[in-house]
A and B are shown apart, each in its own frame.
Chain A
Amino acid sequence: MRVLIVEDSAVLRDSLALGLREAGYAVDAVADGKRGLIYAQTTDYDVIVLDWMLPEMDGLAVLRKLREKQVQATVLMLTAKDTVEDKVTGLTTGADDYLVKPFAFQELLARVQSLTRRRHGACSPVLRIGPLTIDTSARTAHVTHAEGVIVPLELTHREYVLLEYLAARAGKPASRAELEEHLYDDRTQVFSNAIDSAVAALRGKLDAAHCPPLIHTRRKIGYELKDGGG
């Protein structure tokens, strides 16, 4: 899942980026409103963490532009403005959530996870596709067999985020470019076969857990996670 941070305080921006990356998100971070708007319009982010008071263009103006341009990313407003009027203004302009500074990082992380689920139309933090179960809060996955035996999956960070993204949009194929856009940020150098090798590794681990094939290749399109059918 990919997150954009638009925050002018370098300390906040760096800390947020570090914390979210360590939580498994692909993160881009910019310091002013104009660059934030450009980034948000050119990349399909799952969540945008947007400060209100920004140089060049304030957060509210950025938000208004994003909604005018039909950008689908969910937006978490981050600001020291704490009056009811401020919150109402932020939410009615198009923000999906509002967090007042100073805040606990755990709360911000929970809200980002919630917004990510909402972005993909899921309500529960636990995703189930056939015998496969993914807990997006604990960031774990396991396979449940018919006799009740649970086999946990030991996944690398890259494999987990790939599985979570495919599971979040289960039943819909995702192209390699889309997967790259959502799973890697600008800092990561992505090789051309990175997605294919990650899918191969993931298939291997699912197979080792005696899980029926869930990841299907759609020719000339990409990959799809689906229970049954091929």
Chain B
Amino acid sequence: MISIRRRVAFLVVLSLTLLLVVGGEVLIVVFRQAMTLQFDDALAARAAALQSLTRFDGTTVEMDFAGEAMPHYGRFAEAEFFVAWVRDGRGWRELERSESLRAIEWPPSSLASDMLGVRDVRLPNDESGRVVVIEFIASREVDEDRDLHGVTSDAAAATGGIERDASAPDVRLLVALSRGTLDHTFAILNWCLAGVGGALALASVAASRWAVGRGLTPLRELSRRVQSLGPDTLGTRFDADPLPAELRPIAEQLNALLARLDEAFQREQRFSAAASHELRTPIAELRLLLEVAASRPRTDAEWSHTAETALAVLARAQSLCETLLRLARSTASSASTDPSVRGAVAAVLRDETDRVIALHRGDARCVRIECDPNLGARVDQATLRSILGNLLDNALRHGTATPDAPVVVQARRREGQIQIDITNPALDIRQDNLARLFEPFWQNDSSRSEQRGHGLGLAVARSLARSVGGDIVARSDRPDSITLALTLPSAEV
């Protein structure tokens, strides 16, 4: 896909070019009309001048045309022509013509009644031109002596010694003018406009590229900063206020995404560091155990003890690796949509309680179960066993349960889900520790003892619960007890 800068610049140049073409065309049309009107005025003035030379003496019409005074109509002239006709009883008869016409007959069609006015025409010399055809009544020449006797008519006074005579014949005058100069002017105008338009279009390419480039500076700056982001700079946040309105939502979304990434990255880093620490411990133990044992001769009993210790360390390391794998698999798996899957909550609770109590060599009265025997969760039996086993193991390992103050397990259906609350008495419950309970390898200081687990049980339980569409949250309603609330999808309709 082409860049935004090129795309916007292309559209701007295209728009500007279209505007220039349309604007240029409008300018040409207006200019041509104005020039043509001016040309026609000049043509009309020539016709009026020739009309003023036409006289009627009572019997004949004459035109006082003197070729010397008007050389542009002369024999060698090429651009201007005129013909005058007078109408008598037999029709139109030619009265006068310009010498420039020489012997060429003007087409008689000009004598038709609808030919009056101005129009384009093909001239005798085959050039294009404009022609005006007017028709008038020749004026009678007034005797100026009569004027001295004070009998000058009002009409004569109005026309400066010329008087209209109703009996005078009609005269038709045709004046033609070559359009050569006009068309030449038009051609120059066209070329000028085309040149200027082309130059402006080219200039607009550069101008639009520059302007778009300038306009996209904030986007480029944002892009540069986004490109510089890496695992070490996930704490970066974009200041949205100085950004243009179009980029502000992007910056805000980026900030939210960065915050989530940063949190996930830090969580992963903590997990990796903790996993690395936990995996190094058995390696350090085995290495030291074997190095010290091999540093001098040992008895068979000593070697036997060393081997037993090494095997115990290996068993713990193996268990840690298996738990880590289970955690990874539960994180990757997803909820079952099979409605036939059903885990019997009461039976699994009973079995797991027995197993965990035996594991910790505890008293059976240390756990009290309050559960509807018919509760079913939409979770397969093995997953349910793993979730509840981890929660019960956590309660007995890290709590302070006794037969008098036991771990209480309450399972019931609530709002279409199965809710199982496991409450155990415990010491040193701190609210800020509740959220960290589910972090892999996190262990309360007081729980770090010889009998401590891997610190993965709750992380595995929650990950499994989430993988089947449930969840686990921790809360502490009293300072001396902690409740882990497990919700699971119900198997019943």
Contact = CB atoms under 8 A, between A and B. Distances in A.
A56 interface: yes
A31 B452 CA distance: 13
Given A8-B448, A31-B450, A55-B446, A19 B288 contact: yes
B338 interface: no
Contacts of B295: 19, 22, 105
A22 B302 CA distance: 14
A80 B277 contact: yes
B289 A10 contact: no
Say what secondary structure dominates the interface of chain A: loop
A37 interface: no
Interface string A42-65: 000000000001111110000000
Nearest to A18: B292
Interface in B304-318: 309, 312-313
Contact size range, A = 20 to 34
B285 A11 contact: yes
Contacts of A10: 450
Interface residues of B, number: 25
A19 B292 contact: yes
Given A55-B445, A56-B446, A58-B445, A101 B289 contact: no
A9 B285 contact: yes
B281 A9 contact: yes
B449 interface: yes
B448 A11 contact: no
A53 B448 contact: yes
A148 interface: no
Interface string A149-171: 00000000000000000000000
A190 interface: no
Contact of B448 (A16, A55, A103): A55
Given A55-B445, A56-B446, A105 B291 contact: yes
A84 interface: no
Contacts of B360: none
A93 interface: no
A53 B447 CA distance: 12
A12 B288 contact: yes
A16 B285 CA distance: 10
B289 A15 contact: yes
Contacts of B445: 55-58
Contacts of B292: 15-16, 18-19, 22, 105
A81 interface: yes
Interface in B437-455: 445-450, 452
30 contacts: A8-B449, A9-B281, A9-B284, A10-B450, A11-B285, A11-B312, A11-B313, A12-B281, A12-B285, A14-B309, A15-B285, A15-B292, A15-B293, A18-B292, A19-B291, A19-B292, A32-B449, A53-B277, A53-B448, A55-B445, A55-B447, A80-B276, A80-B280, A81-B277, A101-B283, A102-B284, A102-B287, A104-B291, A105-B292, A105-B295
The 10 closest A-B pairs by CB, nearest first: A55-B448, A102-B284, A101-B284, A19-B292, A11-B285, A105-B291, A80-B277, A80-B280, A15-B288, A102-B283
Given A102-B288, A106-B291, 11 more contacts: A11-B289, A11-B309, A12-B288, A15-B292, A16-B288, A22-B296, A54-B448, A55-B448, A56-B446, A103-B287, A105-B291
Interface of B: 276-277, 280-281, 283-285, 287-289, 291-293, 295-296, 309, 312-313, 445-450, 452
